[in-house]
Structure 1
Amino acid sequence: MFKTILIVFVNILLANCEESSNPLTSNANFLEVIAFRKLGSYRGFAADGVEYHKTYYLSRNVWLTWAEALSFCKSYNLEFLTLDAPEEAEAYFNLVDTNAFFKTQSTAWFYVDAFAMTLNSRTDWYWSTTGQKVSFPIPWHPNHPRHQYCLCLNKESLNARFYFYDAGCNGAAGAACQKTTILSANSKK
């Protein structure tokens, strides 16, 4: 029985992975089958006019601290989730709120890239990968923030929508990741 399951698993991997130098980290099919749930994508402009395309992923069946979630994304050649504009944040929340899988889940927690610099200025949130301040109003759950340092995407009941929560950095949550492709520099001026 175990041998049959192992053979099926290997066949799934082979069927879903193209040849590459490292199919475990460079192949999008592997990411979607084993490690991550693909949410969708977004095309937008950064504040400096650079046009980009992002594909969003949420980790499957792993529970990590905030620092481990950052490393987990990097280990698959992805970035920790950053949202560059209010329009992108709205599009992202629409993707997670309308995802068929998450409509069947009563709860889901995912760390994202942002953190608070100090406890007393918890309204000042920064993206760790860029050092930039979060430039739009954070769509907080009504009972948050609560004096924690790390930002988490959360859904707390079956029919609820996703919100941002501040959370302890050493808790256990999944990883919200993205793959960014720069399309053109300074094309929106």
Structure 2
Amino acid sequence: MKILLFLIIFTSVYCYPQNGIYVGLKHISKFNGISSEGVEYVKNYYISQYLKTTAVNARSACKSYSKDMDLVALETREEFMKIRTKLSAVIGQDPVIVGGFAHKLNNKFDYYWISSSTKIDYTYDASRGENCLALQNEGAIGYIRINCDGSHLFICQDVEYQYAN
């Protein structure tokens, strides 16, 4: 019975968009940018409404909606500041998983966006083993370190590149 109930909930949350809407995700915002290669793009951001999962499983959850979807990567200060104001309305004091993960190189821990491998300007002492990154609202939206095994809501993004014809 528990497995059947799980499958019903799982299949109702994970499905392809219906009329441009992803079931189980809430659209937060949109960002227009230009990649380091000079290609224009549009990112749409979505927060999970019901499903809480671990940081590792959150990426799979995002990808289950669309092959073009991944955990969010706020790669520029401009992008972070734009999404930050929108997130203030939807994030409480509970952490929300983003696509930042710690990587150890030369005995130093740095964070990188998993979707692009871009280094994040955020360093810390990893002695407590908190190797995943989240956003949290404590009066203002900011990054926090979280244990990768904890279950939280998560933010996905889809990126649409605007190639010239």
Is 1:127 the counterpart of 2:113? The answer is yes
Q: Greater helix percent: which structure?
A: 1
Show the counterpart of 1:172.
151
Q: Name which one, 1 or 2, has greater alpha-carbon Rg.
A: 1
Is 1:161 the counterpart of 2:140? The answer is yes
Show the counterpart of 1:4.
none
CA distance in 2, matches of 1:58, 1:86: 20
Quick check: 1:52–1:183 contact (8 Å CA) kept in 2? yes
CA distance in 2, matches of 1:54, 1:43: 6
If the length of structure 1 is used for normalisation, what is the TM-score? Answer: 0.68
Quick check: 2:15–2:64 contact (8 Å CA) kept in 1? no
How far apart are 1:128 and its partner, in Å?
1.4
Unaligned runs of 5+ in 1: 1-12, 14-22, 139-143
- 1:28–1:177 CA distance, 2 compared to 1 (3 A): farther
Question: 2:118 corresponds to which letter in structure 1?
Answer: Q
If the length of structure 2 is used for normalisation, what is the TM-score? Answer: 0.77
Question: 1:109 corresponds to which letter in structure 2?
Answer: P
Query: 4+ residue runs of structure 1 moved beyond 6 angstroms?
Result: none
Alignment: residue pair count? 146
Unaligned runs of 5+ in 2: 1-11
Q: Greater strand percent: which structure?
A: 2
